[in-house]
Amino acid sequence: MSSKYEQFLDSCNIIPECNFNEIIESLPEVDLDKVYFDSLYDLDVEDDIAKVIIDAILSNWRYAYCETADFENKTFEISDIESLEDLEEIKDYFCKNSKWNIENYEDLREELEQEDKINKQNITKERFLDIISSNATLSDLEKIVKEYGYKA
Protein backbone atom coordinates (compact mmCIF):
# COMPACT_ATOMS: atom_id res chain seq x y z
CA MET A 1 0.00 0.00 0.00
CA SER A 2 1.41 3.38 -0.97
CA SER A 3 1.57 6.36 1.33
CA LYS A 4 -0.30 9.59 0.72
CA TYR A 5 3.00 11.19 -0.28
CA GLU A 6 3.68 8.48 -2.86
CA GLN A 7 0.15 8.98 -4.19
CA PHE A 8 0.84 12.72 -4.38
CA LEU A 9 4.08 12.15 -6.30
CA ASP A 10 2.31 9.77 -8.65
CA SER A 11 -0.52 12.25 -9.27
CA CYS A 12 2.10 14.91 -10.17
CA ASN A 13 3.71 12.51 -12.66
CA ILE A 14 7.03 12.65 -10.81
CA ILE A 15 9.27 9.73 -11.68
CA PRO A 16 9.86 7.06 -9.03
CA GLU A 17 12.82 7.39 -6.67
CA CYS A 18 14.64 4.44 -8.25
CA ASN A 19 14.53 6.14 -11.68
CA PHE A 20 15.79 9.40 -10.16
CA ASN A 21 18.63 7.53 -8.46
CA GLU A 22 19.60 5.97 -11.81
CA ILE A 23 19.93 9.44 -13.31
CA ILE A 24 21.97 10.76 -10.38
CA GLU A 25 24.26 7.73 -10.38
CA SER A 26 24.87 8.01 -14.15
CA LEU A 27 26.09 11.62 -13.98
CA PRO A 28 29.10 13.22 -12.33
CA GLU A 29 28.54 14.25 -8.73
CA VAL A 30 26.37 17.32 -8.37
CA ASP A 31 25.45 19.59 -5.49
CA LEU A 32 21.67 19.16 -5.46
CA ASP A 33 21.36 22.63 -3.92
CA LYS A 34 22.48 23.98 -7.33
CA VAL A 35 19.77 22.03 -9.18
CA TYR A 36 16.72 24.14 -9.92
CA PHE A 37 13.57 22.67 -11.43
CA ASP A 38 11.35 25.35 -12.98
CA SER A 39 8.17 23.37 -12.53
CA LEU A 40 6.66 19.95 -12.10
CA TYR A 41 6.88 19.56 -15.86
CA ASP A 42 10.62 18.96 -15.44
CA LEU A 43 10.04 15.99 -13.16
CA ASP A 44 8.18 13.46 -15.27
CA VAL A 45 10.76 12.52 -17.92
CA GLU A 46 14.28 11.23 -17.30
CA ASP A 47 15.71 13.32 -20.17
CA ASP A 48 14.33 16.54 -18.67
CA ILE A 49 15.64 15.74 -15.19
CA ALA A 50 19.07 14.84 -16.59
CA LYS A 51 19.12 18.09 -18.58
CA VAL A 52 18.44 20.19 -15.47
CA ILE A 53 21.12 18.34 -13.51
CA ILE A 54 23.65 18.70 -16.36
CA ASP A 55 22.84 22.43 -16.44
CA ALA A 56 23.69 22.62 -12.73
CA ILE A 57 27.03 20.90 -13.40
CA LEU A 58 27.72 23.20 -16.37
CA SER A 59 27.21 26.24 -14.15
CA ASN A 60 30.88 25.73 -13.23
CA TRP A 61 31.72 27.04 -16.72
CA ARG A 62 30.77 30.50 -17.89
CA TYR A 63 27.71 30.66 -20.17
CA ALA A 64 27.63 26.90 -20.93
CA TYR A 65 24.25 25.23 -20.80
CA CYS A 66 22.61 21.98 -21.83
CA GLU A 67 20.36 22.12 -24.91
CA THR A 68 19.12 18.54 -24.78
CA ALA A 69 19.82 15.36 -22.86
CA ASP A 70 19.15 11.75 -23.83
CA PHE A 71 19.20 9.62 -20.69
CA GLU A 72 18.92 6.31 -22.55
CA ASN A 73 21.96 7.01 -24.77
CA LYS A 74 23.81 9.06 -22.11
CA THR A 75 24.38 11.95 -24.50
CA PHE A 76 23.73 15.67 -24.26
CA GLU A 77 24.15 18.75 -26.44
CA ILE A 78 25.62 21.94 -25.08
CA SER A 79 25.72 25.57 -26.22
CA ASP A 80 27.50 28.84 -25.50
CA ILE A 81 30.89 27.35 -24.80
CA GLU A 82 33.28 30.24 -24.32
CA SER A 83 36.52 28.56 -25.41
CA LEU A 84 38.13 25.42 -26.73
CA GLU A 85 39.72 25.04 -23.30
CA ASP A 86 36.28 25.05 -21.63
CA LEU A 87 34.96 22.49 -24.12
CA GLU A 88 37.87 20.14 -23.40
CA GLU A 89 37.46 20.60 -19.64
CA ILE A 90 33.75 19.79 -19.86
CA LYS A 91 34.40 16.75 -22.05
CA ASP A 92 37.11 15.46 -19.71
CA TYR A 93 34.97 16.10 -16.65
CA PHE A 94 32.04 14.10 -18.00
CA CYS A 95 34.25 11.34 -19.46
CA LYS A 96 36.18 10.86 -16.22
CA ASN A 97 33.17 11.08 -13.91
CA SER A 98 30.40 9.42 -15.92
CA LYS A 99 29.54 7.60 -19.10
CA TRP A 100 27.86 10.67 -20.61
CA ASN A 101 29.15 12.15 -23.88
CA ILE A 102 28.71 15.49 -25.59
CA GLU A 103 26.74 14.76 -28.75
CA ASN A 104 27.72 17.97 -30.56
CA TYR A 105 31.37 17.90 -29.42
CA GLU A 106 32.94 17.70 -32.91
CA ASP A 107 30.83 20.58 -34.27
CA LEU A 108 31.63 22.74 -31.24
CA ARG A 109 35.32 21.91 -31.50
CA GLU A 110 35.46 22.91 -35.18
CA GLU A 111 33.55 26.13 -34.49
CA LEU A 112 35.81 27.09 -31.58
CA GLU A 113 38.98 26.26 -33.53
CA GLN A 114 37.78 28.52 -36.35
CA GLU A 115 37.02 31.31 -33.87
CA ASP A 116 40.50 30.93 -32.36
CA LYS A 117 42.08 31.16 -35.81
CA ILE A 118 40.11 34.31 -36.67
CA ASN A 119 40.92 35.88 -33.28
CA LYS A 120 44.64 35.23 -33.75
CA GLN A 121 44.52 36.78 -37.23
CA ASN A 122 42.72 39.85 -35.87
CA ILE A 123 45.25 40.25 -33.07
CA THR A 124 48.10 40.09 -35.60
CA LYS A 125 46.37 42.64 -37.84
CA GLU A 126 45.84 45.01 -34.92
CA ARG A 127 49.48 44.67 -33.89
CA PHE A 128 50.64 45.51 -37.44
CA LEU A 129 48.27 48.48 -37.63
CA ASP A 130 49.55 49.76 -34.28
CA ILE A 131 53.15 49.51 -35.49
CA ILE A 132 52.32 51.28 -38.75
CA SER A 133 50.26 54.04 -37.18
CA SER A 134 52.88 54.65 -34.49
CA ASN A 135 55.88 54.78 -36.82
CA ALA A 136 54.68 55.80 -40.29
CA THR A 137 54.54 59.40 -41.41
CA LEU A 138 51.46 60.85 -43.05
CA SER A 139 53.28 60.56 -46.38
CA ASP A 140 53.99 56.86 -45.73
CA LEU A 141 50.33 56.24 -44.91
CA GLU A 142 49.19 58.02 -48.09
CA LYS A 143 51.52 55.79 -50.16
CA ILE A 144 50.13 52.65 -48.53
CA VAL A 145 46.54 53.74 -49.14
CA LYS A 146 47.27 54.63 -52.78
CA GLU A 147 49.17 51.36 -53.33
CA TYR A 148 46.02 49.43 -52.42
CA GLY A 149 43.86 51.55 -54.71
CA TYR A 150 41.99 53.50 -52.06
CA LYS A 151 41.33 57.20 -52.21
CA ALA A 152 42.47 59.18 -49.22
Question: What residue numbers bound the domain in which 54 lies?
Answer: 1-103
Judge if 95 and 119 occupy the same domain: no
DSSP conformation letters of the chain: ---HHHHHHHHTTPPPHHHHHHHHHHSPP--GGG----SGGGGS-HHHHHHHHHHHHHTTSSS-EEEEEETTTTEEEEE----HHHHHHHHHHHHHH-S-EETTHHHHHHHHHHHHHHHHHHHHHHHHHHHHHHH--HHHHHHHHHHTT---
pLDDT tens-digit map of 94-143 = 999 999 999 999 999 999 999 999 989 999 999 988 888 888 888 888 88
Same domain, 59 and 28: yes
pTM value is 0.79
Residues 117 and 129 in one domain: yes
- 75 pLDDT band, cuts 50/70/90, is very high
Confidence of residue 152 (pLDDT cuts 50, 70, 90): low
Interval 101-115: pLDDT, tens? 999 999 999 999 999
Tally of structural domains, the chain: 2
Instruction: Assess whether 69 and 5 both reside in one domain.
Output: yes
> 21 and 56 share a domain?
yes
Q: Are residues 96 and 119 in the same domain?
A: no
